[in-house]
Structure formats: C-alpha cells, structure tokens
Structure 1
Amino acid sequence: MAADKVFHSRSEGIPSEGVKDQYADGKAARVWKKFIGDSNERTQNYKNFLIGLLRKNGCESVLDIACGTGIDSMMLVEEGFKVVSVDASDKMLKHALKARWDRRKDPKYDEWIIEEANWETLPRDVSSFLPGKLFDAVICLGNSFAHLLDDDGDQRGQKMCLRNFAQCLKPGGLLFIDHRNYDAMINSGATPGHSIYYNCKYPVDIKTSVLVVRGKPELVTLDYCIDAGEHNEKSEFRLCYYPHTLKKFTSMLEEAFDARAKHEIYADFKPLNQVSTPGFYIHVMEKAKQ
C-alpha cells in the first residue's frame, strides 16, 4: 500500500525508480536536519554502541544505505572507517554532499564516497561505481527501513531489499538495522517519547496515527512539529512508515540470511531484557562465514 493512496503527505515524491522518496520536496530534508540536531553531539550511547561493535568485529569498510544528510556517515569517517554512503533521496544527499565539501581540506574526507542508490537494486547500484565491492558492515539506522511500504500486501518488496542488504556483506559481515517500537504504537496509539538518536534542541511534538485495514495495521503516520522558538516559527512535516512488529521483522531478517546468521536484538542499545518499553529495536545480523 503506497502512502499516497491513503494520505496526502506533506512530503511527496517518487525517485527515478523504486522506493518512494518522502523527502523529495526538500522541505522535510531541511527540517530533518533541525530534528536530528548537531552532528558533533550525536547521542553518545548510540555512538559507543555502533563504533564499539564495528571495532570489536574488525570492521573497516561500511556501507551506509540510508545516509540521509550524512550524519552517521560523518561520525564513522571521523572515527577512521572507510565509508560509502547511499540514499534514494537526492534532496537528502544534497546535504551530505555539502557536508563533504565543507570538510574538503580534511584528508579523512577524501575517500568518503556518496552516491544515489535504491534498496530494490542495491547490489547492482553499488557495483556501478564499485564493481565487485563487498563490505564489512552495512548500516540502515534511524527507522529508515520502515519508509519502505508494502505495495503488494505480502511484504515481498521488503523481503527482497533485506536480501539485497545481506548480499552486499562479506562473509562474517554485520548488518545493523532498526525500527521504532511499532508494537507499542499499535497497542497505545502513541510514540514512545524518549529519543536515542536525535539531539534536537527545540521542543518536538509527534502526533501518531495508525491505519488498520481488515484488522491488520498497515500504516503509521508521524506528524512532526518542531517549535524553533524564533518569531513563533514552527516546522511541520509528515512521514509515513510501515509498522514492523518485532516478531515479524525478526522472522524476515532471519529469512533474508537463510537462517544462517547470528542475530542479536537490542532495545535502545541495551540488552533486550533491560528495557520494558524501548523507543527503538536494533538488530545486528552477522552473516555466515561460509
């Protein structure tokens, strides 16, 4: 079910092929930068979690497949990783490209590759500029995967994309992928309020709507309102997501790796049993070595 069949989003647009670009009008891309906050103040427990696991597993090359404005990619570049950043939204990539240009005198940024790519054709797209390249790690974080809706009603497109992610990994490589706690949203109609990724310095209100079709949750819309406090300025935008439940998403991930991957699940970067109602679930898949 495509988002524009149900809601007329404030951020409409279609990229050249495949995944819908909800940032295509440029407005949400600009406001999103305000929402995520200063890249130099990235949530410390997130940074420690991601970089700690990458280093623990000897990862050097990282493919950021939902790089957006480049905030996570820059964090990894600063830490010495070899980063390739892709996104389906050229409006979001514009901010990443500018960030790289602004740091052009810093040698760490010389090898940072930024290209447009689509999850539905990801291995082919990456091979077009890096033939035969496989990565130590692939990251798809910040609730990015939930942007991909279910047009066919059986999640076949989502399953195909997860297989594409696995295909871009070296044997033994890691996939980091997350989603919001949609179980809580479905049950309560509200979004868990605390943030583990973002450092917005302004008050943020998120209105949550859940669309249920024939008894099945099909779509979640989040209406963001950021009060910048400057001349009564308020920034509003809407994003639509597929409501992945933890049980079903776990099953799809394991299927994408042919039930041969090591699978760890974290709640807000802590062990799953330590957080009763997390804002996010983070999955770490280790691809089989043979």
Structure 2
Amino acid sequence: MNQYEKQDFGDNPIEVRESDHYEEEYVSGFVDKWDELIDWESRAKSEGDTIINILKERGVKKVLDVATGTGFNSVRLLQAGFDVVSADGSAEMLVKAFDNARDHGYLMRTVQADWRWMNKDIHDKFDAVICLGNSFTHLFDEGDRRKALAEFYTLLKHDGVLLLDQRNYDAILDDGYSSKHAHYYCGDTVSVFPEHVDEGLARFRYEFSDGSVYNLNMFPLRKDYTRKLLYEVGFQEITTLGDFKETYKEDDPDFFLHVAEKS
C-alpha cells in the first residue's frame, strides 16, 4: 500500500485545521469514489442549466474552473461550448478529471495550482472564474481566503464574474445538520454527515456502499462572512442564490451560490 492509500488525520482528527491538509485528504481511493458521491447524471438533472445560463447571460466565453475535482463542472461547460481551463490543487483529482473529460470526448486543459498563488501558474485573463463543490471551505486561515479571492479577482477581466459556492453552514451550526442531497451530492449509495461541528471545523464523514469510509475537514463559512470577504477584496455586486433559487428561507437551502461581479 502506498502513502496515498490511507488518509492521515493524526491522533486527534478534530485538531487538523490547516489549509494545506486537503492534499492528504484526497487520497486515490477517495478520488476514485468521488463520482459515486456526486452521480453526474442526477446532479446535472437537478442543477439544470443555472450555472450555464448565469455565464451566458453575461456573455462569458472563457472560464477558469479553479476547483475542478473530478471534472463535472468543467465537462458540462465544455459541452455547452465554453473555452475552459481546469485547475485543482490535487494531482489525483486532475488525473481523474482528465480521464472523465476524455471519456466524454474532450481534451481537458489542466493546471495543478494552489489558489493562493494562481497567477504564478496561470498567465491569462478570464471572463469567469468558478469555484464550486464547497471547495472554498478547505481554507482554514482568513489570510489564505483573502489571498485566494484576490487571486481570483486578478485573473478576471474587468467585467468578469466569480461563481463561488458553499454549504449552508449557518443552518448546520445553528440548527443541526440535515440534507436533501437534491443538488450536489446525489449518489443514493453514499451516506454523508458531519461527525463534528464547531465554529472552526466541520468534519464530514463519507460512507460508501462497499464499507469504505473517508473524512474531510472543512471550515464552516457563514454566508454573510463569505459575502463580506468578497466585497472587501473588490467585488462590486454580489447575488447569493439558495439551491440555485433567488428566493429562499435562510435555513432552507443545502448550498449557497455567490455570484460576484467585477465591474
């Protein structure tokens, strides 16, 4: 067994609160099962064309997907005719994404890049940057979050847009966890739930049908805090959708989608 086969959270997993730890969490076995968790077909059906329409309404042609994962969003955008560059901090994820894109008939352009220093690896400007799949919550340090958002902002053209999503951590922190699994994690054979939550950590447990278990440690971003950071790094107008709807009760959505305009 190589070093990537098993996750390592040490003796006290709930004390693991570092931005750089995500690379050790996305081990090959977990990455191989990620698509079982998402269920591409079910997710595409539930999500509809909301993301695609948001981008098309703004005349977007060139997109940077900074949290490609196994490639779901990148492939959907390629299918819709967008020019896409796919980035991720995990080499394991990029390999899987490239293979998935190839299976759908596309040659994916991939870049392994850390959000905090993206301009070091990506020398271009984009009409849109997308950071989806609750990925932004891997950053535990506020300085890291500000640095990453500033990098996204810089990579956008002057009238560009950032799409960034997150779990509804307000509801989890204030009311406890419940999830309809209606939009993001649609796999019926996977159980997902937080085994520990406090203001500085949401530790999620992923149980798969073959008995395998994996964890992710994430920072529970509150919605208004994320919006505040977006404003403070320079985005002028921010609209927040709840499960892809403009109107919602605050504790109702599983996920929020922030649409941040640079103008």
Report the counterpart of residue 182 of structure 2 in structure 1: 195
- The letter of the residue matching 1:156 is G
Residues 85 and 110 of structure 2 are in contact (CA less than 8 Å); yes or no, is this contact kept in structure 1? Answer: yes
Residue 210 of structure 1 pairs with residue 197 of structure 2: yes
Question: Structure 2 vs 1, CA of residues 84 and 47 (structure 1 numbering), >3 Å: closer, same or farther?
Answer: farther
Question: Structure 2 vs 1, CA of residues 7 and 51 (structure 1 numbering), >3 Å: closer, same or farther?
Answer: farther
Within the candidate set 118, 139, 161, 1:174 is matched to 161
Residue 220 of structure 1 pairs with residue 202 of structure 2: yes
Matches of 1:221 and 1:279, distance apart in 2: 16
Report the counterpart of residue 240 of structure 2 in structure 1: 265
Within the candidate set 119, 122, 125, 2:121 is matched to 125
Residue 244 of structure 1 pairs with residue 221 of structure 2: yes
- In terms of mean alpha carbon deviation, does 25-34 or 202-211 score higher? 202-211
Secondary structure of the residue aligned to 1:91 is helix
Report the counterpart of residue 33 of structure 1 in structure 2: 35
Runs (5+) with no aligned partner, structure 1 = 128-132, 212-216
Question: Structure 2 vs 1, CA of residues 183 and 124 (structure 1 numbering), >3 Å: closer, same or farther?
Answer: same
The C-alpha deviation readout for 1:75-102, integer Å capped at 9, x for no partner, is 1111111000000001111101212333
- The letter of the residue matching 2:130 is I
Report the counterpart of residue 4 of structure 2 in structure 1: none
Question: Structure 2 vs 1, CA of residues 273 and 97 (structure 1 numbering), >3 Å: closer, same or farther?
Answer: closer
- The letter of the residue matching 1:148 is L
Within the candidate set 110, 127, 132, 1:141 is matched to 132
- Superposition deviation, residue 203 in structure 1: 4.6
Within the candidate set 181, 184, 194, 2:171 is matched to 184
Identity of aligned residues (%): 30
Give the CA RMSD over aligned residues. 2.4
Question: Structure 2 vs 1, CA of residues 85 and 203 (structure 1 numbering), >3 Å: closer, same or farther?
Answer: closer
Residues 65 and 85 of structure 2 are in contact (CA less than 8 Å); yes or no, is this contact kept in structure 1? Answer: yes
Report the counterpart of residue 115 of structure 1 in structure 2: 111
Secondary structure of the residue aligned to 2:207 is strand
- Superposition deviation, residue 5 in structure 1: 7.6
Matches of 1:5 and 1:157, distance apart in 2: 23
- Superposition deviation, residue 235 in structure 1: 2.8
Question: Structure 2 vs 1, CA of residues 164 and 191 (structure 1 numbering), >3 Å: closer, same or farther?
Answer: farther
The C-alpha deviation readout for 1:129-167, integer Å capped at 9, x for no partner, is xxxx100110001100001112xxxx1111111111111
Secondary structure of the residue aligned to 1:92 is helix
The C-alpha deviation readout for 1:215-236, integer Å capped at 9, x for no partner, is xx1111011113x2xxxx2231
Question: Structure 2 vs 1, CA of residues 250 and 18 (structure 1 numbering), >3 Å: closer, same or farther?
Answer: same
How many pairs were matched up?
A: 254
Secondary structure of the residue aligned to 2:252 is coil
Question: Structure 2 vs 1, CA of residues 275 and 149 (structure 1 numbering), >3 Å: closer, same or farther?
Answer: closer
- Superposition deviation, residue 31 in structure 1: 2.0
Question: Structure 2 vs 1, CA of residues 121 and 19 (structure 1 numbering), >3 Å: closer, same or farther?
Answer: farther
- In terms of mean alpha carbon deviation, does 167-176 or 26-35 score higher? 26-35
Residues 35 and 198 of structure 1 are in contact (CA less than 8 Å); yes or no, is this contact kept in structure 2? Answer: yes
Residues 63 and 139 of structure 1 are in contact (CA less than 8 Å); yes or no, is this contact kept in structure 2? Answer: yes
Matches of 2:109 and 2:205, distance apart in 1: 32
- Superposition deviation, residue 41 in structure 1: 3.9
Runs (5+) with no aligned partner, structure 2 = 1-7
Question: Structure 2 vs 1, CA of residues 115 and 255 (structure 1 numbering), >3 Å: closer, same or farther?
Answer: same
Question: Structure 2 vs 1, CA of residues 7 and 135 (structure 1 numbering), >3 Å: closer, same or farther?
Answer: farther
- Greater Rg by CA: 1
The C-alpha deviation readout for 1:164-190, integer Å capped at 9, x for no partner, is 111111111110001101111111332
